[in-house]
Amino acid sequence: MQWGLLSVFSSLGSIVAFGINFHADKLQVPISVYIVFILLMASAFFVALFTIIAPSEVRRRDGTPLAHYPHDGLWQELKNQRRLLQDWRLLALGVPMLASEVPIIVSSSLNSLYFNIRTRSLNSLMFNVMQIVGAIWIGLMLDSWKIASRRTRGVVTVATVALVVIAGWVGLTVWLYRNPMDLLNPPLFDWTDGPFGGFFVLNLIFGMIMVIYQVTVQWIISTFTNDPEQLARLAGLVKGVLAGGVAAAFGTEAAGLPQLSVIAYNFSVQAIGLVLMAVVAWNCVTATNYDKEERVVPPTNERGLEKDD
């Protein structure tokens, strides 16, 4: 749901940019686009200010709290953070965390190198739209009760994501071989030009990979605990490692490596990450963590425990 909402509003921003750039004849982003984006981002502060409530006030439909929230001092919190770095499951998932958002770096770089401003805006819009599709699809897979075992559901989802990832990176490699580029004389294709069609389809695929890969990593990690405070620590860890992966991916672009070398690096990282996700999902995902954590309050009308393998 979080990724779906994020992608919806990203798409709204992309629609604004596309509308402004539709008849653009200059290779630059108008100031009006930046103004609209700043206003949209600033509005998030007021939404958060008036809608977020304290975790201790959150209640289920049956009236029970999610957990008890005793106060932990700074020293105890530092110890809790250290324990995260000693968990082999999280260390194994470090690679897929690093690889989660590399598709947006590759896709956006090629989009800016190969296409004119209005075609870039269209590609960016569709990239965000496909994240909405991907968020809905991956959510249905990971929460489907048609596969009773949560562990099996995780492994099947990882395998499905792997097929999409392989298709995307292999397809992009073929497209680049057919459309080599001189950095000193970029082609700046329009959507009326021949090479656009192939990239458009690949851009849709990478928009999906952007969300389904990352959500699958987060889902596996979220199965480790039901404690909201621990989940908050894990969320911070995921975002921190993910940012490091984005920086590394941008580094391959900044180093001036050939695009095929950049793709080889990013594909390798995502492929290794998929293998590690499958290993952790098979060995560590359990049906539930209720009654295993002192601070967590189990629901009184739980919809049946999922099946353990």
Decide if 111 contacts 203 (C-beta within 8 A): yes
Can you give the pLDDT at residue 304?
Answer: 45
Following DSSP, what letter does each residue of the chain receive, concatenated? Answer: -HHHHHHHHHHHHHHHHHHHHTT--SSS--HHHHHHHHHHHHHHHHHHHHH---GGG-B-TTS-BSB------HHHHHHHHHHHTT-HHHHHTHHHHHHTTHHHHHHHHHHHHHB-HHHHHHHHHHHHHHHHHHHHHHHHHHT-TTS-BHHHHHHHHHHHHHHHHHHHHHHHHHHHHHS---TTS---B-TTSTTHHHHHHHHHHHHHHHHHHHHHHHHHHHTT---HHHHHHHHHHHHHHHHHHHHHHHHHHHTT--HHHHHHHHHHHHHHHHHHHHHHHHHH--S--TTS-TTB---TT---PPBP-
pLDDT by residue for the chain (309 residues), tens only, comes to 666 666 666 677 677 666 766 666 665 666 776 787 788 788 888 888 888 888 778 888 877 888 777 777 888 888 888 999 899 999 999 999 999 999 988 998 999 889 988 888 889 989 989 999 999 999 999 988 888 789 999 999 999 999 999 999 999 999 999 998 877 788 888 999 989 999 999 999 999 999 999 999 999 999 999 888 888 899 999 999 999 999 998 898 888 888 889 999 999 999 999 999 999 999 999 888 887 878 888 887 654 445 555
Question: pLDDT for 249-270, tens place per residue?
Answer: 889 888 888 888 999 999 999 9
Decide if 103 contacts 210 (C-beta within 8 A): yes
Question: pLDDT for 107-129, tens place per residue?
Answer: 989 998 899 888 888 899 899 89
Residue with tokens 């965000």: 128
- Dist. CA 231–CA 309, nearest whole Å: 24
**φ and ψ at 67, to 5 degrees?**
-165, 170
Decide if 62 contacts 301 (C-beta within 8 A): yes
